[in-house]
Amino acid sequence: MNNELALQTLDALRRVLGTNPQQLHEPSFEGNEWVYLKDCLDSGYVSSVGKYVDKFEKDLATYTGANYAVAVVNGTAALHIALKLSDVSQDDEVLIPALTFVATANAVTYCVAVPHFVDIEEKTLGIDANKLRQYLADITEQKSGQCVNKKTGRIIRALVPMHTFGHPSDLEGLISVCQEFNLNMVEDAAEAIGSYYKGQHVGTFGLFGTLSFNGNKTITTGGGGAILTNNEILAKKAKHLTTTAKISHKWEFRHDDIGFNYRMPNINAALGCAQLELLDSKLFSKRNLFSLYSDVFDQFSGIKLFQEPENCKSNYWLQTLILEEHESENLQKILESTNNSQIMTRPSWVLLNELKPFLDYPSMDLVVAKSLSSRIINIPSSSNLGNI
C-alpha cells in the first residue's frame, strides 16, 4: 500500500485550512444569541413556555416554506413523532437507507416497528428510487390499499428518505414510488436545513419532514429539532403529542393521550431564533468553502469532492470526499494521517444493518451503500472556514 494519496490529501487540506487544528463541524455564535438568552434569563422564561418557542416555530415555517413547524427537544424525537403520526405502528415495516445516522432506525423502533434497509445511489448519496421500485415490485403485494411484504407478511407503512450531508435525495423519484406502493413519506432532513430540491426546501415534500439543531448541525439550539408539515390537523396533533397531550385549560391538568415531554425549552429556542437569522450567511460561507476545496481537489485523481446533485441547492453541511473504488484501501491511511495532524476527518457511518441491534432486520441488497461506506471521508466543514 502506498502513502502517496494520504500525503497528497493532507497537503490539499492544509492548503485550504492552514496549519491550525480543525474540527469536523463547529458551531459559531455571531448574532443575537447573547441578547436573546439574556432576555430569557431576565424574564424567568427558560423552560417549556415562552415567546421564543412560538417565534422559532414561526420563523422556521417562514424559512422553509412549510405551513407549520413544531419545535422539539431533538431530531430523533421529531422523527419519532412524525413516524407515529404517519400511522407507523407495531410490526409495521419502514423503509430507510442503510447509510444514515442511527437515529433514523432508532425512531422506527420507538414505534415498535421494523426498520427495513434499502440501498442508495452514488449521485445523491440518498435512496435509489429505481432500485427501490424494482425491489418493491418483487417483494410486495397490495392488499386493501396497503403495501404488504410477501416475505414477512408485515405492512410496509412508510419510506424515510435522508438527505445525506445536506444533499437532497431524488425526491421526485421517491415520491412516485410512495404513490405507486401506497407508502407515507417522512423526510429525515436533520442534516439539510437550507437545502432545496428544484427550488423547494427539503422536508416539505412528505407528510412530514424533520430537522435537527444538534451542536454539530448547520445551525444549533444546543440540542433541538423540529417537525415540519403542511397539514394543519397533523401539525396540531404533533404539538399536542409533544407537549404531554395536555388539554389547554386555565388550571386543570387533563391529558387525553399518552403524550411525550418533547417540547423545546425556551432558552434553546432563543438560541435558535438568533441562529436562524445567521443561516443565509452561514450557507454562503459553506458554499464558499466548497469552492475553496474544489480548487484543490479538482486536480486530484482517485478522489473527488462531492458536489450537490443536479437541480438541487445543497447546504453543504459536511463537505465530502469520495475515493474511487480502486483507492478504497487508502481510506484508513487518509483518516490516520489527517487526524494525526489535528485535521479532523471522519468516515461515514457503519451501515445500520451491520450494527448489533439491527442485525436481524430485513434489507435489500446493499451493494452501493456498502461500497460508498468504504470510500466516504468527511472533512472540516464549519461555516467560519469559508468566511471571506
List residues binding ligand PLP (CB under 6 A): 74-76, 100-101, 103-104, 162, 188, 190-191, 212, 214, 225
Q: In the complex, which residue's CB is closest to ligand PLP? A: 75
Instruction: Quote the CA–CA distance of 363 and 359 in Å, as a whole number.
Output: 10
Which cell numbers in the block locate residue 129? 428510487
> Cβ closer to ligand PLP: 75 or 168?
75
Q: How far is the CB of 278 from ligand PLP (least distance, A)?
A: 19
The Cβ of residue 102 has, within 10 Å, a number of other Cβ atoms equal to 14
> Cβ closer to ligand PLP: 302 or 347?
347
238-269 exposure pattern, b = at least 16 Cβ within 10 A, e = fewer: bbbbbbbeeeeeeeeeeeeeebbebbbbbbbb
Which residue bears the cell 387533563?
A: 254
Q: How far is the CB of 238 from ligand PLP (least distance, A)?
A: 16
- Alpha helices for 99-212 (secondary structure H): 102-110, 129-139, 171-181
> Cβ closer to ligand PLP: 66 or 79?
79
Measured in degrees and rounded to the nearest 5, phi and psi for residue 125 equal 65, 10
Q: How far is the CB of 213 from ligand PLP (least distance, A)?
A: 7
Q: How far is the CB of 264 from ligand PLP (least distance, A)?
A: 11
> Cβ closer to ligand PLP: 101 or 208?
101
Q: Which amino acid belongs to residue 322? A: I
Q: How far is the CB of 368 from ligand PLP (least distance, A)?
A: 18
> Cβ closer to ligand PLP: 184 or 212?
212
> Cβ closer to ligand PLP: 212 or 363?
212
> Cβ closer to ligand PLP: 74 or 373?
74
Q: How far is the CB of 82 from ligand PLP (least distance, A)?
A: 11
The Cβ of residue 129 has, within 10 Å, a number of other Cβ atoms equal to 22
Q: How far is the CB of 167 from ligand PLP (least distance, A)?
A: 12
Residue of 135, 216, 201 whose CA lies nearest to 163: 201
- In a 13 Å sphere around the CA of 114, the CA atoms on its Cβ side amount to 16
Residues 6+ apart with CB under 8 A from 267: 37, 40, 41, 46, 47, 52, 222
